[in-house]
Amino acid sequence: MKTVVLKFGGTSVGTIDRIKKVCKIIAFYKKKKNRVLVVSSAMSGVTNELVNKSKLISNNFDKAEYDTLVSTGEQVSCALIAGRLKHNGFKSRSWTSWQLPILTDGPHSSARISSVGIKELNKYINSGGIPVITGFQGISNDFRITTIGRSGSDATAIMLAKFVKAEECIIYTDVDGVYTTDPRQYKKAKKIQKIFYDEMLEMASLGSKVMQPTSVQDAKLNEIDIKVKSSFVSKNGTLITSSKKIFSNQIITGISSTKNDAKITIVGVKDRPGVAASIFRPLSKNLINVDMVVQNISQNGKETDLTFTINSEDLKKTERLIKKNNSISYKKLSFDKDLSKVSIIGVGMITTPGITYRMFQALASKKINILVISTSEIKISVLISSKNVKKAIAVLHKEFKLD
C-alpha cells in the first residue's frame, strides 16, 4: 500500500467551495487504497490578517506570541477539511504540530523541523484514518509553538514524507507546475515536466515563487521527490527530483527574474585583510541580505571598489549603516535602484561551452546594458534596468530554444 502526502496551499483552501474541492482530491487518492496524509496551509489572506493584528497591538510584538498567533490559521483550515471528509464518510481528524509532535530547532518565525513523531500517526493511518496536519509550524524544546517561515507548509509536507517514508509528496497550489519563466512576464513560457533539485533551488532563490528555497533544500537533502500540481485543474504537474532518468536535451531549463533590486558601489576603499567583512558585518546583523558582489582592485593595489546588490526596501537602512561604519574609509558612495536580476539556469551549461557568450550577445542584440554579472556552475545572473526585464526574458527564452 502506497503512502502519499498531499499538501494544499492557501489559495487551494481559500474558500469553503475550494475546501470541498480539495476533499474530492483527497478522496480520489484514498479510494485508490493509498495511505493518505494531508498537510494544509491557512486559508489565503488569513495569515496576513493575523500579522496585521499583531502590528496594531505593538510595533515590537513578542516573537513567541507572534508564532502562537499566526499558527492559528492552519488549525482552522485543517478542522474544516477534516470536518468535510467526515461529512463525506471518511475517517479523519485534524492534528496540530504539538500533538504529533513536530519538533523544531532555531528561532521563532524561522525555525527548522528536526524530527516528527509518527507513532500515533501511523496507528491512525493504519486504522484507515486520514490525518489532516497543520503546516508551517512546530514546537520548540521548551514547548512553545514555532513557525518555519512563510510558505513553510511545503517544508512540513516534505519532512512528513521523510519520516513516514512516503512514496509520493504532492504540493497542490494555484499553478499547474513549474514554468520555464514567469508566464505573466512572457506568454510563451512552457511548463517543465521534470527538473533537478539544484535547478529548482536556483530558480526558487532567484525569483520563482512556486516553492521556497528552504523547502527545495529540505527535499534535496532528504531525497524526497516532489510533484507540483494545481488544485484547480486536472493536469500533469512538474516533478522535482534527482533522478538521472530525466530525459531532456535542454541546456537551459528556465529563466528567473527578481524585482526591486538596488546596487551599491563603495569607491576607493582601503584594501586590507578583513575590509569586506567590516562592510558586511553590520548589514548581516541588521538582517540585510546581500546578493551579487563584485570587487575591483586598483592598479596600485592599495584601494578597491566594492559593488553589491540588496533589496530596494533595505536601501536607506544600508546607506545609513555604511555611513556610520567607522571601521572603513572610502572616497565615494553611489546607489542605483529600479534594477532587476535576470538569470538563466540549467545543469546542461556545465558541459556546454559558449553559454555566457550566447546570453550576453542575445542581450546586446536588444541593446540591454549589463551592470553586474554573477555565475555558478548551473546559472548565470545579470543585473539590468527593471524596464528591460520582459525584453530580456523574451530574447533569452528564444535564444535557448525554450519557446
Each residue's pLDDT tens digit, 84-116: 999 999 999 999 999 999 999 999 999 999 999
pLDDT band at 274 (very low <50, low <70, confident <90, very high): confident
- For residues 139, 140, 142 and 145, what is the CA-based torsion angle, rounded to 10 degrees? -40
What is the average pLDDT across 230-236? 90
- Mean pLDDT over each residue of the chain, to the nearest integer: 92
- For residue range 185-197, list pLDDT tens digits in order: 889 999 999 999 9
pLDDT at 270 over 70: yes
Determine contact, residues 134/75, Cβ cutoff 8 Å.
yes
Taking residues 243-258, report their average pLDDT: 79
- The pTM assigned to this predicted structure is 0.83
Q: Are 106 and 112 in contact (CB under 8 A)?
A: yes
Q: What is the pLDDT of residue 245?
A: 59
- The residue extents of the domains of the chain are 3-174
Q: 3.40.1160.10, 3.40.50.2020, 3.30.1540.20, 3.20.20.70: which CATH number matches 3-174?
A: 3.40.1160.10
Query: b/e string for 11-26 if b means 16 or more Cβ within 10 A?
Result: bbbbeeebbeebbebb
Q: What is the pLDDT of residues 301-355, one digit of tens each?
A: 688 899 999 999 999 999 999 999 988 889 999 999 999 999 999 988 988 999 9
pLDDT score of 207: 66
- Find the angle CA(66)-CA(70)-CA(72) to the nearest 5 degrees: 125
Other Cβ atoms within 10 Å of 94 Cβ, number: 22
Give CA–CA dist 157/135, Å, rounded: 7
Say which residue the cell 553559454 belongs to: 355
What's the DSSP call for residue 179?
Answer: B
- pLDDT tens string 353-381: 999 999 999 999 999 999 999 998 999 99
Report residue 224 CA to chain centroid gap. Answer: 16
Strand partners, 265: 307, 334
Region 206-230: mean pLDDT is 85
